[in-house]
Amino acid sequence: MSMSKVDDTKKQGMKILVILVLVGFVVFFGYGPLFDLVGGGIPGRVLGATFGSIFAILMTMFLLNKQTEIEQESKKSERVFDEKVVLYKNILGMSKEMLEDGQLDTKEILALPFTLIKMQMVGGDEAIKIYTSFFEKINDIYEASEDEVVTIPESEKQQVFSLLSRFAVQCRVDLGISDTPIDESIFARAISVVQQSDKAIKGKRDTSKYTFNGKAFAKGRLVHAVVKDYVSKNPDTTFDELKKAFPNEWQAGGAKSGNRAVFVRLTDAEKLFEDKGHRRHFFKEGETIQLSDEVIAVSNQWGIGNIGDFVDGSNKNHNADISK
């Protein structure tokens, strides 16, 4: 519902209200003398019925106009509410991807200003303020490195989490779920639980780095670098040939390969992400790898249970010279 229609309805309602007031004024001050002029009887009754009909018609028009105005305002509010829900969910979803893979790339940074512009269109003032702080924090992290793909330092992740949590809390207020922000003690406890969970994961996570071509890599990035290096040295490699060079078993970690693979077609990686909502492959801008017949995305699902097979296989079959 456009603003012009709502405004037009309000203006029309004001006109009718003014006419009602004028008619009421005329009836109050002019009906007596006019009635005396025409006299009683049938003329008097006709005059009374006429004034009553005019007043009833105008009152009905005013009430109908007011009802239309309320309906238009309601539809507008519903539309804005739906837009806010979609926007806020998209912001949290995008932020989830950033924190899950722990990487910031150019595409993600370029998307932030447009999201902020959308926030300025439909978001509440406080929500915009908190999101701007989140935007500034992400910018600071990205600007601190000269690399195009920047790893979010562990020390900064909790600050980003805190800003996102405050943003989510403000979204509750903005969407009318709560009239006031969440109690500070509840918020503090929620942040504490997130930090505790993160520490528990870190305690069980193998954070070993691997050296390849003179650079240090975490497990997922190591596999991506090795496959990319192999393809750059063998540019005519086909999808099937690369499967033989990097068999699915290397990713399965000794188990049956099933749906596991070192890499998949880009279309399959994108479909998996759409279906499951989890990014299990590297396919952001600059991460996909072009073969002679396909574009592929390398798996990012690597841990202590399967990275050893990949390292051993790459060193043995491709002289990769990977060291821990």
User: Helix (H, G, I), strand (E, B), or coil: what is residue 3?
Assistant: helix
Is 263 found in the same domain as 281?
A: yes
Q: Are 92 and 164 in contact (CB under 8 A)?
A: yes
Q: In which domain, by residue range, is 146 found?
A: 102-204
Last residue of a domain, one of 170, 204, 238: 204
Give the Cα separation of 294 and 237 in Å (integer): 10
Q: Is residue 284's pLDDT more than 80? A: yes
Cα 118 vs. chain centroid, distance in angstroms?
11
pTM across the whole model: 0.48
- My answer on whether 34 and 134 are in the same domain is no
Residue 83: inside a domain: no
Q: Are residues 179 and 237 in the same domain?
A: no
Pair 189, 218 in one domain: no
Torsion of CA 59, 62, 66, 69, to 10 degrees: 160
Greater pLDDT, 146 or 296? 296
Residue 252: how many other CB atoms lie within 10 Å: 18
Q: How far apart are CA 39 and CA 304, in angstroms?
A: 105
Tell me the per-residue pLDDT of 163-220, one tens digit each, with 9 for 90 and over.
888 888 888 888 887 766 666 666 566 556 655 555 554 545 567 789 999 999 888 8
CA-closest candidate to residue 192, choices 280, 200, 77: 200
Runs of H (alpha helix) within 253-303: 266-276
pLDDT reported for residue 156: 84
pLDDT of residue 3: 47
Mean pLDDT over residues 252-268, rounded? Answer: 79
The answer to whether position 82 is within a domain reads no
The pLDDT score that the predictor gives to residue 225 is 95
Longest dimension (CA), the chain: 118
Token representation of residue 25 = 């004024």
38/216: higher pLDDT: 216
Residue 186 included in any domain: yes
Q: How many domains does the chain have?
A: 3
Mean pLDDT for the stretch of residues 29-54: 60
Q: Is residue 87 part of a domain?
A: no
Read off the amino acid at residue 283.
F
Average pLDDT over residues 301-324: 91
Residues 222 and 193 in one domain: no
User: What is the SS3 string spanning 247-260?
Assistant: CCHHHHCCCCCCCC
Both 114 and 166 in a single domain? yes
Q: Are 155 and 180 within one domain?
A: yes
Query: Which of 239, 285, 278 lies closest to 262 in space, CA to CA?
Result: 239
**pLDDT given at position 203:** 47
pLDDT per residue as tens digits for the range 111-155: 888 888 888 888 888 889 998 998 899 889 888 877 777 888 877
> Is 240 in the same domain as 275?
yes
- Count of residues for the chain? 324
User: Is 174 domain-assigned?
Assistant: yes
Q: How many CB atoms lie within 10 A of CB 236?
A: 9
Q: How confident is the model at residue 321 (pLDDT cuts 50, 70, 90)?
A: very high
Calculate the alpha carbon distances from 119 to 15, 88, 128, 159, 171 in Å.
36, 9, 6, 21, 11
| Percent of the chain residues topping a pLDDT of 90 | 26
User: Is residue 215 domain-shared with residue 192, that is, in the same domain?
Assistant: no
Q: Are residues 215 and 314 in the same domain?
A: yes
- Using CA atoms, how far apart are residues 23 and 62, in angstroms rounded to an integer? 13
For residue 235, give every residue at least 6 positions away whose Cβ sits within 8 Å of its Cβ, in sequence order, or none: 292
Q: How far is CA 37 from the centre of its chain?
A: 73
Report pLDDT for 17.
Answer: 63
* Summary mean pLDDT of the chain: 79
